[in-house]
C-alpha cells in the first residue's frame, strides 16, 4: 500500500494536469475573492449596506476557495483515475501491483494528499488576495480570529474529501470524457438548480441538504450560495454531518466502482 | 540464474459467447527461447494476459514455478512482461514511466537508468512518450520487463514495429537472456520473424494447442518433394508413376512426391531416361506452420 501510494503520487507529479488545474484554480478563486471583497466594501459604504456587519464579510470571501473552487480537486481526482483507463496504463500498474485493492487504496490516499495541495492553493488565492483587498480598503480581515482559522481548516478538509470523491467517481464511471461532462454539468448546472428548487419547501430543503455541494457548504459553514438563499441555511446540516455526507459519497462510489470496473479484465 | 518454469494448465477463457482460449496446456522451460505462435485472433494475447493476472480465466491455471502471478511476493522481480506498445501515458517521459512502476515494486531509480541504457534509450528517456516511434515504445516496453531483473520474461509481439537493425538487436538480446538461464516466452504471428531466435515453439490455433516442441520436430513434418526433369518428360513421368510416386507436371519439369531423389535416379536409370535435373525440395517451415494453423483462415 505504501509503495502503491508512492507510485500514485509520482504518477501525478510526472504529468502536467495537476499544475494546469492548480493555476486555473488560483486565478479563478483569487479573482472571485478579490472581486467579492471589493463588492462588499462598496456595499458597506452605502447607508443600507450597514446590515452586513464587518464580521460577516471575511468568512464569505475566504470560503470562495471551496464555494467556487471545489470543482478543481473533484475534476483532478476523476482525471487521475480515468486517465489510467484511457491510456491503458492499468496494465503496467496491475503488473507491478496485482492486488488491485492496494492500488485503489493508494489512489484514494494520493488523491487526498493532492486535495490538501489544492486547498493550500485555493486558500492562498482566497485569503491572500481577498484579505489584501479587504485590508487595502480598510475593512476587517479577521485573520487573528480563531473561528476564521477553524473555517480555513474545514476548507482544507472539504477540498481533501472532494478530491477523494473525484478519484472514486472516476473508478465508477471510468470513461474520461463522460466523467468530465458529468462533473461539469452536475456541479455547474444541475446541482445549483436542484438546490434552488429544493429550497421552496421545507421537506425538500431537508433532502437538498444532502446534495454534495450543499453538504460541502455545511461542512465549511459559510458560502455565498447559502448566504443568499435564506431558506436553505435553516435546514443545512451541521458541519460534521456535511463532512460525513461527503465522505459517504466517496465511499459509495468507491465500493460500487471497486466491485465493477476495477475488477474487470484488462485487455 | 534459473528462471521460473511457466505452466499453463487447462486454461479456458470465454468472452461472452466467444471462446478465446480453449483448454490450453503447455510448459515453458528456462534457458531457451520459446516461441508462442498463432495467427492473429488465435488467443495468444488472452493467454499471456491470463498468465500475468490481467485477465481472469474462466477455468484452468497459469503459474510460475507453481505460483500464480497474483500470489508472487514481488511479481516484477520474478516475471518481466511486455504486452503492447500503447500502454504509456503520452505526457509522461519514458524514464518517469519506469520510475512510477519502479516505485510500486520498490525498485530504485538507479536501476531505471540502467535498463534505459540497456535497451538503447539512455538519451530519449527524458522525452515524453507521446513523441516516441513504435520501435522506441517497444524498447521502453522491454525496459519495463527488465526492470526487476526477472528470471522469466513474457513478451507479446516484441519484434512488431522494429526496424531491421532493431530486429537484429532484439534477436541477439533474447538469445543472451535465455543463455543466462532465464525463461523467455515470445509471441508472434509470423514464424519467420522468430525462426532464427527460438529453440522451441508452442503453436496455437483458435485457442487450442496445435503443436508443442522443437523447430526441428516441426521441420520433420515437412513434405519432401523432388523437382526432376528429362528431355523425354513423358517417359520419365510414366516410370515414376509406375514406381509409386505422385507426379505433378509443372512448367519447368515434374514435381514428385512419395519418392526420394535416390529412388528417382534409380528408376530413371532403369527406364533408360537420362535426367537433366534432379533437385530435392523442402517445403518451407512457414508452409508447415500455415498448414498447422489453417492456411488463409481469418476469423
pLDDT value for A111: 97
pLDDT value for A224: 65
Q: Which of A6, A89, A265 sits opposite B88 (nearest CB)?
A: A89
Q: How sure is the predictor about A226, in pLDDT bands with cuts at 50, 70 and 90? A: low
Beta bridge partners of B155: B82, B186
Q: Which of B69, B84, B103 sits opposite A98 (nearest CB)?
A: B69
Q: Report CB contact under 8 Å: B96, A4.
A: no
Q: Name every chain A residue with its beta carbon within 8 A of the beta carbon of B155.
A: none
Q: Name every chain A residue with its beta carbon within 8 A of the beta carbon of B154.
A: none
Q: Which of B72, B92, B100 sits opposite A7 (nearest CB)?
A: B100
pLDDT value for B298: 44
Q: Name every chain A residue with its beta carbon within 8 A of the beta carbon of B84.
A: 88, 91
Q: Name every chain B residue with its beta carbon within 8 A of the beta carbon of A18.
A: none
- What residue of A is the nearest CA neighbor of B45? A267
Which one, of A246, A245, A247, A217, lies nearest residue A233 by Cα? A217
Rounded Cα distance between A169 and A256, Å, is: 9
* CB atoms near residue B118 (< 10 Å): 14
Which one, of B8, B88, B9, B102, lies nearest residue A6 by Cα? B102
| Planar angle of CA B66, B69, B75, nearest 5 degrees | 110
- Half-sphere exposure at residue A4, Cβ-oriented, CA atoms within 13 angstroms: 21
Q: Report CB contact under 8 Å: A87, B87.
A: yes
Cβ-Cβ pairs closer than 8 A, A with B, add up to: 85
Helix, strand, or coil here: B73?
coil
Between B84 and A258, residue with greater pLDDT: A258
Query: To the nearest 10°, the Cα dihedral for A64, A70, A76, A81?
Result: 170
Strand (E) or helix (H) holding B280:
strand B275-282
What digits encode the pLDDT tens for the residues A35-92?
Answer: 999 998 888 888 877 777 888 889 999 999 999 999 999 999 999 999 999 999 999 9
Q: How sure is the predictor about A231, in pLDDT bands with cuts at 50, 70 and 90? A: very low
> What's the mean per-residue pLDDT of chain A?
91
Which one, of A83, A45, A37, lies nearest residue A62 by Cα? A37
A141 pLDDT exceeds 80?
yes
A229 pLDDT exceeds 80?
no
pLDDT value for B222: 61
Please answer whether residues B89 and B162 qualify as being in contact, where contact means their C-beta atoms are separated by less than 8 angstroms: no
Distance from CA of A168 to the nearest CA of B (A): 20
Domain locations in chain A as residue ranges: 2-260
A89 at interface of B, judged by CB pairs closer than 8 A: yes
Q: Which of A16, A91, A266 sits opposite B91 (nearest CB)?
A: A16
Q: Report CB contact under 8 Å: A97, B84.
A: no
Q: Which residues of chain B have pLDDT under 70?
A: 85-86, 220-223, 282-283, 295-299
Per-residue three-class SS string for A150-211: HHHHHHHHHHHHHHHHHHHHHHHHCCHHHHHHHHHHHHHHHHHHHHHHHCCCHHHHHHHCCC
Mutate to test the interface with B, among A8, A12, A92, A267 (most CBs of B within 10 A): A92
Helix, strand, or coil here: B68?
coil
Burial class (CB in 10 A: 0-12, 13-18, 19+), B278: middle
What digits encode the pLDDT tens for the residues A158-188?
Answer: 999 999 999 999 999 999 999 999 999 999 9
pLDDT value for B85: 60
Question: CA dist A22 to A17, A35, A65, A141, A247, Å?
Answer: 9, 20, 12, 25, 23
Please answer whether residues A176 and A85 qualify as being in contact, where contact means their C-beta atoms are separated by less than 8 angstroms: yes
Which one, of A167, A184, A161, lies nearest residue A85 by Cα? A167
A102 pLDDT exceeds 50?
yes
Backbone angles phi, psi at A157, to 5 degrees: -60, -45
What is the percent of chain A with per-residue pLDDT over 90, rounded to a whole number? 75
pLDDT value for B203: 94
Q: Copy the grid coordinates of residue A139.
A: 475593512
pLDDT value for B221: 61
Q: Report CB contact under 8 Å: A14, B96.
A: yes
Question: CA dist A13 to A8, A9, A33, A80, A251, Å?
Answer: 9, 6, 28, 11, 25
Amino acid at each position: 500500500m505504501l509503495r502503491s501510494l508512492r507510485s500514485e503520487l509520482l504518477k501525478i507529479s510526472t504529468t502536467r494536469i495537476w499544475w494546469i488545474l492548480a493555476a486555473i484554480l488560483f486565478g479563478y478563486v483569487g479573482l472571485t475573492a478579490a472581486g467579492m471583497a471589493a463588492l462588499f466594501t462598496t456595499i458597506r459604504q452605502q447607508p443600507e449596506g450597514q446590515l452586513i456587519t464587518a464580521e460577516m464579510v471575511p468568512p464569505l470571501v475566504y470560503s470562495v476557495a471551496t464555494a467556487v473552487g471545489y470543482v478543481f480537486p473533484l475534476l483532478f481526482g476523476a482525471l487521475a483515475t480515468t486517465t489510467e483507463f484511457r491510456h491503458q496504463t492499468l496494465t503496467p500498474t496491475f503488473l507491478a501491483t496485482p492486488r488491485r485493492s492496494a492500488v485503489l487504496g493508494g489512489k484514494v490516499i494520493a488523491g487526498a494528499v493532492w486535495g490538501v495541495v489544492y486547498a493550500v492553493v485555493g486558500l492562498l488565492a482566497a485569503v491572500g488576495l481577498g484579505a489584501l483587498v479587504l485590508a487595502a480598503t480598510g475593512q476587517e480581515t479577521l485573520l487573528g480570529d480563531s473561528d476564521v482559522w477553524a473555517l480555513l481548516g474545514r476548507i482544507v478538509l472539504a477540498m481533501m474529501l472532494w478530491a477523494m470523491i473525484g478519484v472514486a467517481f472516476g473508478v465508477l464511471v471510468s470513461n474520461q470524457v463522460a466523467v468530465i461532462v458529468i462533473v461539469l454539468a452536475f456541479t455547474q448546472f444541475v446541482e445549483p438548480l436542484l438546490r434552488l428548487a429544493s429550497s421552496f419547501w421545507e421537506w425538500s430543503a431537508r433532502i437538498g441538504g444532502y446534495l454534495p455541494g450543499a453538504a460541502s457548504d455545511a461542512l465549511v459553514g459559510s458560502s455565498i450560495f447559502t448566504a443568499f438563499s435564506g431558506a436553505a441555511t435553516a435546514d443545512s446540516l451541521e458541519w460534521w454531518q456535511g463532512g460525513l455526507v461527503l465522505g459517504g459519497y466517496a465511499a459509495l462510489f468507491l465500493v460500487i466502482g471497486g466491485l465493477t470496473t476495477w475488477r474487470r479484465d484488462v485487455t | 540464474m534459473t528462471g521460473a518454469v511457466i505452466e499453463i494448465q487447462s486454461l479456458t477463457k470465454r468472452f461472452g459467447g466467444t471462446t478465446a482460449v480453449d483448454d490450453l496446456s503447455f510448459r515453458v522451460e528456462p534457458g531457451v527461447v520459446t516461441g508462442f505462435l498463432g495467427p492473429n485472433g488465435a488467443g495468444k494475447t488472452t493467454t499471456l494476459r491470463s498468465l500475468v493476472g490481467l485477465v481472469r480465466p474462466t477455468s484452468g491455471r497459469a503459474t510460475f514455478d507453481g505460483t500464480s502471478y497474483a500470489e508472487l511476493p514481488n511479481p516484477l522481480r520474478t516475471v518481466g512482461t511486455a504486452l503492447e506498445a500503447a500502454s504509456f501515458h503520452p505526457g509522461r517521459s519514458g524514464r518517469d514511466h519506469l520510475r512510477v512502476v519502479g516505485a510500486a515494486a520498490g525498485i530504485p531509480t538507479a536501476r531505471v537508468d540502467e535498463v534505459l541504457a540497456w535497451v538503447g534509450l539512455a538519451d530519449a528517456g527524458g522525452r515524453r512518450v507521446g513523441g516516441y516511434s513504435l520501435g522506441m515504445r517497444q524498447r521502453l516496453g522491454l525496459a519495463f520487463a527488465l526492470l526487476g531483473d526477472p528470471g522469466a520474461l513474457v513478451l507479446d509481439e516484441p519484434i512488431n514495429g522494429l526496424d531491421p537493425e532493431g530486429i537484429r538487436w532484439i534477436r541477439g538480446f533474447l538469445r543472451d537472456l535465455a543463455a543466462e538461464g532465464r525463461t523467455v516466452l515470445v509471441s508472434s504471428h509470423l514464424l519467420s520473424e522468430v525462426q532464427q531466435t527460438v529453440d522451441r515453439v508452442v503453436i496455437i490455433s483458435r485457442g487450442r494447442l496445435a503443436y508443442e516442441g522443437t523447430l526441428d520436430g516441426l521441420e520433420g513434418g515437412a513434405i519432401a518433394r523432388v523437382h526432376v526433369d528429362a528431355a523425354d518428360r513423358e517417359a520419365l513421368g510414366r516410370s515414376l508413376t509406375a514406381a509409386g510416386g505422385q507426379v505433378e507436371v509443372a512448367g519447368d519439369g515434374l514435381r514428385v512426391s512419395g519418392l526420394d531423389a535416390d529412388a528417382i535416379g534409380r528408376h530413371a536409370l532403369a527406364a533408360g531416361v537420362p535426367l537433366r535435373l534432379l533437385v530435392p525440395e523442402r517445403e518451407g517451415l512457414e508452409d508447415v506452420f500455415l498448414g498447422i494453423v489453417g492456411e488463409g483462415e481469418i476469423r
